[in-house]
Each structure stands twice: as C-alpha cells, then as structure tokens.
A and B are shown apart, each in its own frame.
Chain A
C-alpha cells in the first residue's frame, strides 16, 4: 500500500488536481476547464485522475484551494481547506526553497507573494479590478481570432510592440482597436498586449513591493512565453517558470493535506448527486442570498446566512 494525497485547486477558469506521495513527488496530475461549473469539473477531474491509477495507492488526505474551495471541500469532505496564497507559497517552496518572490497571474486574479527564509512576509492581491489577468488575455485573443496557446509565440515575433494603456482593460481594449484600425501588424499588437499585462501587474499588484530574485512566475498566464519575456525585460531579472507552474496551488494544498492526514478516502463521487440551490431568505430585512448544498437530495450545508437561523430543505 502506498499513501498518497490529493490536492485540488478550483479556479475561475481552470481546475487543477494532483496526487502526490509521501515525498511530495507528483504521481498524477490533471488540468481541465472549470466552465463555470465547479462540481461537474471536479467530478470529471477525479475520474481522470483515477483512470489507470496504480491499484496500490490509497488517498489519505484531500485539500482544496482556489475560489471554489469551500464548496468542493465540503463535497469531498476535505481535511484541509485553505486560501490560495498559502497554498501557492507552500507548493512553490517545495520546489524552490530559495525563492524570494512569487508572481502569480491566474484567470480572474493576480497576486504577488514575498517570502523571506521560507516564510511569507507580505502579499498583495488585485482588488475589484480584473485588469491584466488571464480572462482579459483570452477575451482579446478571441477578438483577434488567435488561439490562446499561440499567443505567446506570436508575441515573440514582434520587434516593435505597440504601446497599449496599462491601467484599465477598458482603455486597453479601445487602444487595441485603434491600433488595429491604424494598420499595425498583429504580432506587434499581441506583443503590446503582453507587455501591457506586465506593466499593469507591476503598477497594481506589485506597487511598492520589493521584487527580489529568485523570482518564480506561475498561474495560467505563466504559460504565455510573451508575458514571461516582458517580465524578464522590465524587471531585468531571470524569471523561473516551472513546467508545473500551473499546478503549484494544487501541489501546495496536497502537501498541507499530507501534514493533517487522518482517514482513507475512496473517491467515488461520480454517482453521488450533488445539487446546489440558491434562494433569498425573506425572513428578515437582510434578505440574505443563501446557497443550499444537497448530497443525494439531502441538505448537507448552506452558505451565505448572516444569522444562525436554521435552514431547512
């Protein structure tokens, strides 16, 4: 028998899962789109992970992180549910114990984590605005009719990136349309966009933070070689992008789950019916928006209530 641990990072755009062993080696990993349905995505993810998995492996701990961590943690009965900042730092430090700065750009949010001697000392996250995140890049790629996978390669072809406003995506988009109509080459526009992502990140999330090497760049956008190039150029430092950079959150939470293991999980969730129902409670003037979660038609939990009123079916 081999004890293993499952870490799941459910982001706004993609869902990531890894199985690690006692020594933090990755046994299996999976990366799929969330498609705004975290429950369905996690069911699919677990089926994929179970496929061809060594029969000797027993899952002794499950951790969830990412924006849907609470919901999925409840469904899987996870033993650790933690925020993505801690999870990312733990995952990254496992591979790069010397790391001092983590840059992370995901689908909807971006963060910077500063580390000193293996302890997080500071972090920042984007606030209301999703400017300069993966969602913006992919919507612009769609507008330009480019596959997001080819985006980085195309950016590298350019020698003369166009200047695009780096503060706000609304202005960035109108800049982009304007430059396209003037007749700039598509690779220059794509390169300009990649550069604007970097500038936006450094001006918003990275504002006032001392970025010290070694720097590790991760999150979905780290797969974009154009963005990596401009980070290197602007920070004048080497940027480390791990081949598993998109999985760091999931690995981190799996490691945290390992340290708290206590039971055996069977991972048979495919046939269990999970359902969520949103409702507005009108019992007091707060009108709380309540989300009720059903497992096989039995209410197991509810989120969103401001008071302790018992919520029934």
Chain B
C-alpha cells in the first residue's frame, strides 16, 4: 500500500501540535508533508485568497494550504473550540476548517477539540487512523507513546528557556503566539534583530502551560482565551528577573488587542508593543526595538 500523504500547513496549529502529529503519525504508514517556512510567495497567495478582515496569521495559513494543495492526499485541519469553559481559543482556530473548505476544493482530515462536549485530541486522532483501517488498540498505544515523547521534548525546551534567566545579558521576555514568533516572515527577522542587540530572549510559550495558565489569574481573573492566558502567565513567573517585555502580535488580532492592552496597565517592567501587518519594511521596527533596548539598558545617555 502506498503511503498516505497528509499535508500540514506550517502556520497556526502547526506550532502547537507539530510534535504530537509527528510522533503519532510516524507510527503508521503515513507521510507528513509540511509546507516550507513562510516566504513572500506563500504570504502573497494567502492574501489573494482571503478576505481583508482576516488577521495576517490567518492569511498566512491560507497561503500555506494553497502551497500544499497538489502535494498531498489530505490536509490536516483540526477544529478547536475550547479546552474547557474558561479556556476558549481564538475564533480562527474554530473556523479554519470551514473557511478552507469553502475556499479550496480539497480533501480535509479533521478532528474536533471541544472539552465542553467531551471531544478530545486523543479521540480525534484515533478516529482518523481507525478510519484508515488501523486497529483501535494500536492507535491508542501510539498516542500514548507520542504524548510521552512530546513531554520529553518540551521539558528540555522549557529547561533551556528557564536557564536563560541566569544570563548576564539584558533579558527580554518575548510575548506572542508561537505561530507569529517562529514564523519565517513575521517574527524571525524581529527576533534576529533583538538578539543582535546583545540580549537574551525568554519565550513566553516555553514554560509549563498548566503553570502559566494558572498564574495568569494573578493578572486577570476573567480572561478566557487559552493561548493568551498561557502567554501572559509567564509575566508573574519571571517579571522580577527580566529587564523588559516585548509584545508581538499581528494585525488585527482580537484576543491580543484586548489582553495585551490590559497587561500594559498592570506591568511593572518597561514594555514595547509591536503590531505586524503585511508591510515588508523592517526599518520602523528596527528603530523602535533599538530605542527600547537603549532605554532598558539605561546607560546610553550617561556613557
């Protein structure tokens, strides 16, 4: 039997679920085709197929789907509604499946995550492979193994991230969604530039999610966006050990525009807010980052 090819767009979900997908599907006769790091062509195609009101990250996702159309048998798009009552996700994560289904004529593999309705990732992934003819027992075991491997990998990343807090350099907490921070076109250049200024970057997403999720209550009791809670929960965890905070979001992100604005009023440390849209000039961003770092280093004027 030829390998089944499942396409995975390198955007949005990818940055949260890439490891579980990889370790899980590796156990079957399935090949994952991952789209390349975002480049201008991918972004331009995304913009072409999306409506104006979508955020840059969503447009980017659509570009990645377009890239995969003729390269795989299926495209994997989960539909994520919530992780419980006070852990909702951005509406894009809920709507992507239907949006893509409407834009492109392609076969989509789908599972739901809706804990309010008792629909879990485990059930979803197992259903996908049993539909391909694998036994339920084998799939269950594969999922269990995959989860174990993911945990090992994450623990290491988190350990490295926490170790950076002991660095002698100026330390900056970078808050943003992983699909923006690690995207080749959206966040990579910015991170490169921040590092160029002799700083240590601590990433908001590389902490234990259950810890940051709970800690976010210190800043606000009523927030219910899962991903934002996990991002800002890193603030009370490390605020005493860092020199400044940089927020990165894409235009127009609705959870970010609410949550980040709320944070600005509660922070003790200096912050910089960068909102990225599909402009392609770095000049303005460089000016802002450089002057922000000058400020938190504090010494420039009296040098």
**What separation, in Å, do the CA atoms of A83 and B270 have in the docked complex?**
18
Residues of B contacting A306 in the complex (Cβ-Cβ under 8 angstroms): 189
Could you say which of B284, B291, B301, B303 contacts A123, with CB atoms under 8 Å apart? B291
> B294: CB under 8 A from chain A?
yes
B294 and A120 form a contact (CB under 8 A): yes
Say yes or no: A83-B295 contact (C-beta < 8 A), given A90-B301, A93-B301, A119-B301. no
A83 and B291 form a contact (CB under 8 A): yes
**What separation, in Å, do the CA atoms of A110 and B39 have in the docked complex?**
32
Closest to B283 in A: A67
Residues of A contacting B40 in the complex (Cβ-Cβ under 8 angstroms): 285-288
CB of A71, distance to nearest CB on chain B (Å): 11
Say yes or no: A84-B301 contact (C-beta < 8 A), given A120-B294, A121-B295, A123-B295. no
Chain B positions 122 through 137: 1 when the CB is less than 8 Å from some CB of chain A, otherwise 0 = 0000000000000000
> B29: CB under 8 A from chain A?
no
> B42: CB under 8 A from chain A?
yes
Select the residue from A82, A93, A259, A286 with max chain B CB neighbours within 10 A.
Answer: A286
Which chain A residues (83-128) contact chain B, with CB distance < 8 Å? 83-86, 89-90, 93, 118-123, 125, 127-128
A85 and B39 form a contact (CB under 8 A): no
A259 and B303 form a contact (CB under 8 A): yes
A118 and B287 form a contact (CB under 8 A): no
Could you say which of B41, B287, B295 contacts A120, with CB atoms under 8 Å apart? B295
What 7 pairs across the A-B complex have the smallest Cβ distances? A85-B291, A285-B41, A285-B39, A286-B39, A83-B290, A83-B291, A83-B287
CB of A111, distance to nearest CB on chain B (Å): 9
Residues of B contacting A119 in the complex (Cβ-Cβ under 8 angstroms): 295, 298, 301-302
Residues of A contacting B275 in the complex (Cβ-Cβ under 8 angstroms): 127
> A284: CB under 8 A from chain B?
yes
B: number of interface residues (CB 8 Å): 23
Residues of A contacting B51 in the complex (Cβ-Cβ under 8 angstroms): none
Say yes or no: A89-B301 contact (C-beta < 8 A), given A123-B291, A125-B287, A286-B40. yes
Chain B positions 40 through 74: 1 when the CB is less than 8 Å from some CB of chain A, otherwise 0 = 11100000000000000000000000000000000
> B300: CB under 8 A from chain A?
yes
CB of A100, distance to nearest CB on chain B (Å): 14
Residues of B contacting A83 in the complex (Cβ-Cβ under 8 angstroms): 286-287, 290-291, 294
Chain A positions 243 through 283: 1 when the CB is less than 8 Å from some CB of chain B, otherwise 0 = 00000000000001001000000000000000000000000
**What separation, in Å, do the CA atoms of A288 and B298 have in the docked complex?**
35
Chain B positions 101 through 145: 1 when the CB is less than 8 Å from some CB of chain A, otherwise 0 = 000000000000000000000000000000000000000000000
**Can you give 8 contacting A-B residue pairs, CB < 8 Å?**
A85-B291, A86-B290, A86-B301, A121-B270, A122-B270, A122-B295, A123-B295, A287-B41
Residues of B contacting A127 in the complex (Cβ-Cβ under 8 angstroms): 275
> B288: CB under 8 A from chain A?
yes
CB of A33, distance to nearest CB on chain B (Å): 21
**What separation, in Å, do the CA atoms of A3 and B148 have in the docked complex?**
67
A118 and B302 form a contact (CB under 8 A): yes
Chain B positions 242 through 283: 1 when the CB is less than 8 Å from some CB of chain A, otherwise 0 = 000000000000000000000000000010000100011001
